[in-house]
């Protein structure tokens, strides 16, 4: 009993102390925010893109954030790595960290479920979107188009090329597990990203893992299971700023690619809109240059040229073929 008031006094002192620390912190935060001319610095320094090479304009989203890293950003992160004396190490068992393969993670997930989990009937009613373990351990990140990080490179290249804004409309033909699409969905307004994909496993990964885990359910992308270049479920009203196919046309019969282009030509915004096709355009070159040009002209399309884009993270460049619509 006698010690009770004493402990209250200490608590009050602690309270006062923590309050003053909090006040000092808030003042410091406000000061650093007001003295930080970050947006001004970024908008002037953003003129030089790293990794792109071929782009000049900087794309800003509605929130004012840049899409590609600047030279200064790259220098900053290199400085952080240097200043912290970081070195790449083998991914082996070490104190406090227990690296495991995806297969081991999956096994643990199914067998042990971690330290805290519900048992019995309760196991089924506490999780809003129960996700299969295979998706939770991100096995689909290795399904195709790896490394996963390369999706960012594709996004940055395409976004710069069409001067992407949140209001843009984008259609991807074959978005797979959303390795690229996620970045578009993040930047675009709700419902502005459309995709046609035929692989069910990939679509499950997109809907059951990628969108919820990235907090993108509110972006309501229109992702449709289908094939044979059937775009009927996307409606007739939308005019796209960008239509792209990453490593998709090369797996299709030429005839089907042309059917698709015919269906898409009048869905592309005249002059400013772009169709981008990666890897090669054998559906065109196999016809011979003149015949291909004739076919494109007939559809109101024009081949703009071949572009390349360097990866930020690995020794790789992506090849893209650019088309636009010349008839209104």
Ligand X SMILES: *[C@@H]1O[C@H](CO)[C@@H](O)[C@H](O)[C@H]1NC(C)=O
Give the residue with the Cβ less far from ligand X, 89 or 125.
Answer: 125
Q: How far is the CB of 130 from ligand X (least distance, A)?
A: 13
* Residue 207 dihedral angles phi and psi, to the nearest 5°: -80, -40
Tell me the C-alpha to C-alpha distance, in Å, between residue 193 and each of 158, 183, 282: 14, 10, 27
Supply the DSSP string of 32-50, one letter for each residue: HHHH--HHHHHHHHTTSBS
Give the residue with the Cβ less far from ligand X, 32 or 124.
Answer: 124
Q: How far is the CB of 127 from ligand X (least distance, A)?
A: 10
Q: How far is the CB of 125 from ligand X (least distance, A)?
A: 4
Instruction: Note the residues at the interface with ligand X (CB under 6 A).
Output: 121-122, 125-126
Give residue for tokens 């409606």.
235
Give the residue with the Cβ less far from ligand X, 82 or 126.
Answer: 126
Distance, in Å, from the CA atom of 319 to the CA atom of 242, rounded to the nearest integer, reads 17
Give the residue with the Cβ less far from ligand X, 90 or 121.
Answer: 121
The greatest distance separating any two alpha carbons of the chain, rounded to the nearest whole angstrom, comes to: 99
Residue nearest to ligand X (CB): 125
- CA angle 128-129-135, nearest 5°? 150
Q: How far is the CB of 116 from ligand X (least distance, A)?
A: 15
- Cβ(166)–Cβ(189) below 8 Å: yes
Give the residue with the Cβ less far from ligand X, 76 or 118.
Answer: 118
Q: How far is the CB of 213 from ligand X (least distance, A)?
A: 22
């Amino acid at each position: 009993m006698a010690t009770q008031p004493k402990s209250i006094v200490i608590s009050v002192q602690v309270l006062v102390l923590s309050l003053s620390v909090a006040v000092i912190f808030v003042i410091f935060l406000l000061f650093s925010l007001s003295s930080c001319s970050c947006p001004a610095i970024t908008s002037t320094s953003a003129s030089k893109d790293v990794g792109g090479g071929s782009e000049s304009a900087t794309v800003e989203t509605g929130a004012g954030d840049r899409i590609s890293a600047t030279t200064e950003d790259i220098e900053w992160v290199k400085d952080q790595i240097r200043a912290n004396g970081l070195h790449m190490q083998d991914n082996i068992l070490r104190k406090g960290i227990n690296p495991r393969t995806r297969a081991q993670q999956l096994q643990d997930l199914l067998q042990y479920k971690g330290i805290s989990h519900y048992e019995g009937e309760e196991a089924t009613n506490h999780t809003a979107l129960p996700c299969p373990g295979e998706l939770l351990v991100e096995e689909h990140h290795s399904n195709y188009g790896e490394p996963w990080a390369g999706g960012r490179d594709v996004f940055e290249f395409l976004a710069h090329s069409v001067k992407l804004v949140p209001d843009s409309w984008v259609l991807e033909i074959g978005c797979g597990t959303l390795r690229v699409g996620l970045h578009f969905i993040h930047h675009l307004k709700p419902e502005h990203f459309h995709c046609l994909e035929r692989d069910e496993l990939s679509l499950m990964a997109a809907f059951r893992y990628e969108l919820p885990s990235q907090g993108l359910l509110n972006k309501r992308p229109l992702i449709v299971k289908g094939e044979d270049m059937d775009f009927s479920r996307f409606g007739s009203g939308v005019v796209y700023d960008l239509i792209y196919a990453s490593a998709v046309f090369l797996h299709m019969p030429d005839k089907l690619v042309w059917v698709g282009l015919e269906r898409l030509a009048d869905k592309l915004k005249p002059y400013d809109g772009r169709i981008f096709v990666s890897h090669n355009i054998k559906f065109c070159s196999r016809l011979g240059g003149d015949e291909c040009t004739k076919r494109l002209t007939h559809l109101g399309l024009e081949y703009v040229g071949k572009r390349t884009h360097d990866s930020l993270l690995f020794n790789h460049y992506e090849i893209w073929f650019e088309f636009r619509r010349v008839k209104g």
